[in-house]
């Protein structure tokens, strides 16, 4: 199979050195993302697109390739093509007829030709000749440039002809690795996940920083959604997931800070900590999911007061976004279900929170705060490569596993809905329920406590993690199903 990858249009208006650097980076990213599907994949760069060749023919692998390229920053769209040496006009007609002839009978169609290189003819010359011949030879009903039922699409580049079968859109933006790195403050909700996506789509390599206020369940939920975003949109680059235990910091704020200033002080502590972590990683910019006046700490005066604790650039890609627009985009990129089921945690609940806090008052409140607590949190921060975060979470968990399900037991398939749909788990005489891992914590308590439940996933890691959490919550009727 051959694909022509069209780069994001903004790349094509860059200076020659920048443009070449971006395209080289995109080619490198494509090879990295597809390597496990086809170690011999060939990606060659030209001035305004890339050509990808693979010998993979298995439909599932080809579908996976298409899905990965459709989520890759830097790609506007890509075309599946057949390539031929360029012949005369009659040869072009023959090649188009070979691919489109059966579909044109009785249809209104058009011919679209793009051309690059030096030729004695124009794109319009090709369109007119090929269109007239296909209409006559294939029994088409007619030609319409405005409302065709079928488009016959071809490209001519120098002495090569490409007959286009299909076009797949991607997310645009700049290639990851071509620009700077950032540290995204990730809570796992709608706002932070969409902000992370927006930054990654713009080509900024993003590490994830989570401030744990709610224990193991919240940490696990955020790790899962961060891994999902990275795997889907950023797996060409290795980044870190940083988890900072912030329960003691929160306790210090609740005990020492005036109620109406707690929200602003908490955000300032998070930015201080994130700045220290960014210094360790040589990162100059922080990213948050804040939007103007969505909550009391996000008014312009309070955001300014929060920012003044760091010299880092603080990026807020959602600053002027409406909440519903954020939710809609979360649904589009696949993070909404995670956000809806993110475990609740005990945050700062202020009575009459200040929407226009004064700097001298906030600094006075912070004088009561023991900064050694913040330093301890940073000392205990965990930095894990994002591609290993789920596996490392599952280490050292002693959970009972079974290789066969018994009559009366219920298997819960906790895989992502796409995986469960593509390869459904079916066992004779055994009930199988689907309940995605991101919904498990919230919905498990609704199940019959007198039944035995076996959690199932592909590798057994996610099922062990969630079984461990459910057991720690007091649900004794949970095991892991690992077929032999």
8 Å CB contact between 189 and 339 = yes
**Cβ-based neighbour number of residue 62 at 10 Å:** 16
> Is residue 294 marked as binding?
no
Tell me how far CA of residue 367 lies from CA of 120, 154, 253, 265, in angstroms: 79, 69, 11, 11
End-to-end CA separation in angstroms for the chain: 36
Cα gap 414→437, rounded to integer Å: 5
Going by C-alpha positions, the residue among 224, 393, 380 that lies closest to residue 208 is: 224
The number of CA neighbours under 13 Å toward the Cβ of 35 is: 8
> Is residue 358 marked as binding?
no
8 Å CB contact between 41 and 113 = no
Going by C-alpha positions, the residue among 291, 241, 295 that lies closest to residue 266 is: 295
Catalytic site residue 457? yes
Phi-psi region of 91 (alpha: psi -120 to 50; beta: other; left: phi over 0): alpha
- DSSP H or E stretch at residue 84: strand 75-85
> Is residue 289 marked as binding?
yes
380: burial class by Cβ within 10 Å (0-12, 13-18, 19+)?
Answer: exposed
The number of CA neighbours under 13 Å toward the Cβ of 91 is: 11
Give the residue numbers of the binding site for ATP.
Answer: 185-186, 267, 289, 298
| Binding site residue list | 185-186, 267, 289, 298
> Which active-site residues does the annotation give?
457
């Amino acid at each position: 199979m051959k694909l022509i990858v069209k780069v994001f249009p903004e790349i094509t208006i860059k200076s020659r050195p920048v443009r070449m650097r971006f395209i080289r980076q995109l080619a490198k990213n494509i090879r990295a993302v597809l390597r496990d599907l086809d170690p011999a994949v060939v990606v060659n760069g030209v001035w305004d697109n890339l050509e990808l060749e693979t010998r993979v023919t298995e439909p599932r692998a080809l579908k996976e390739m298409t899905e990965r390229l459709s989520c890759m920053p830097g790609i506007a769209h890509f075309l599946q093509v057949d390539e031929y040496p360029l012949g005369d006009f009659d040869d072009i007609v023959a090649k188009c007829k070979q691919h489109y002839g059966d579909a044109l009978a009785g249809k209104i169609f058009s011919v679209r030709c793009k051309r690059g290189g030096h030729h004695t003819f124009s794109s319009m010359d090709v369109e007119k000749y090929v269109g007239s011949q296909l209409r006559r030879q294939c029994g088409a009903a007619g030609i319409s440039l405005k409302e065709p039922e079928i488009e016959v699409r071809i490209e001519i580049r120098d002495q090569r002809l490409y007959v286009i079968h299909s076009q797949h859109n991607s997310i645009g933006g700049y290639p990851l690795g071509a620009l700077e790195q950032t540290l995204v403050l990730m809570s796992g909700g709608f706002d932070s996940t969409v902000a992370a996506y927006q930054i990654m789509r713009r080509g900024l390599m993003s590490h994830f920083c989570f401030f744990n206020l709610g224990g193991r369940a919240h940490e696990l939920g955020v790790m899962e959604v961060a891994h999902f975003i990275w795997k889907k949109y950023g797996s060409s680059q290795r980044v870190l997931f940083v988890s900072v235990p912030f329960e003691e910091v929160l306790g210090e704020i609740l005990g020492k800070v005036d109620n109406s200033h707690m929200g602003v002080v908490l955000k300032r502590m998070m930015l201080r900590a994130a700045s220290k972590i960014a210094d360790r990683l040589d990162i100059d910019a922080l990213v948050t999911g804040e939007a103007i006046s969505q909550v009391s700490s996000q008014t312009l005066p309070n955001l300014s007061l929060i920012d003044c604790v760091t010299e880092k650039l603080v990026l807020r890609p959602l600053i002027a976004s409406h909440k519903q627009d954020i939710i809609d985009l979360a649904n589009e990129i696949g993070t909404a279900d995670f956000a809806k089921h993110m475990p609740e945690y005990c945050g700062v609940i202020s009575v009459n929170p200040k929407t226009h806090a004064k700097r001298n008052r906030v600094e006075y409140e912070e004088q009561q705060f023991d900064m050694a607590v913040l330093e301890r949190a940073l000392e205990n921060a965990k930095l894990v490569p994002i591609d290993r975060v789920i596996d490392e979470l599952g280490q050292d968990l002693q959970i009972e596993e079974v290789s066969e399900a018994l009559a009366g037991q219920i298997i819960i398939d906790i895989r992502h809905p796409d995986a469960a749909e593509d390869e459904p788990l079916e066992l004779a005489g055994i009930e199988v329920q689907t309940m995605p891992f991101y919904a498990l914590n919230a919905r498990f308590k609704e199940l019959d406590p007198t039944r035995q439940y076996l959690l199932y996933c592909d590798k057994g890691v996610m099922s062990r993690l969630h079984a461990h959490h459910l057991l720690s919550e007091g649900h004794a009727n949970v095991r892991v199903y690992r077929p032999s």
